[in-house]
Amino acid sequence: MFKIFAFLLIGLFVAMLFVNVYFRAKVLKTYKRLVQNRVEFGAVHLFNRKKMEEEVLPKYPNMRQDILDFSNHMQYSIKMASVLIALITLFGAVLMYFR
């Protein structure tokens, strides 16, 4: 049982590393285009779609898709990282219990 949880824990760490590298590449590529076009918005806009549509998208209509892609990638990567961290913590606690 200990070995199964240890392998699951290692697999989750590898998954977290993969998710981090994959989304970092996607986010940085989109972020680079936004910076080159001098698109500016705050963190509140990333997590509040209504504010994004009211305040940012009208100012940069030609960058709409990049802004939405960046926002979606950031939200998804945060959700995935949160789930993986919770699973790693859970399996780590189980491993400590069985040890």
In whole angstroms, what separates CA 10 from the centre of its chain?
A: 20
Indicate the number of domains in the chain: 1
Asked if residue 30 lies in contact with residue 73, where contact means CB atoms within 8 angstroms, the answer is yes
Q: What range does the domain containing 11 cover?
A: 2-98
31 contacts 73 by C-beta, under 8 angstroms: no
Predicted confidence at residue 99, as pLDDT, reads 67
**Could you tell me the pTM of the whole model?**
0.74
pLDDT at 2 over 80: no
Rounded Cα distance between 62 and 93, Å, is 49
Residue 19: its H or E element: helix 2-36
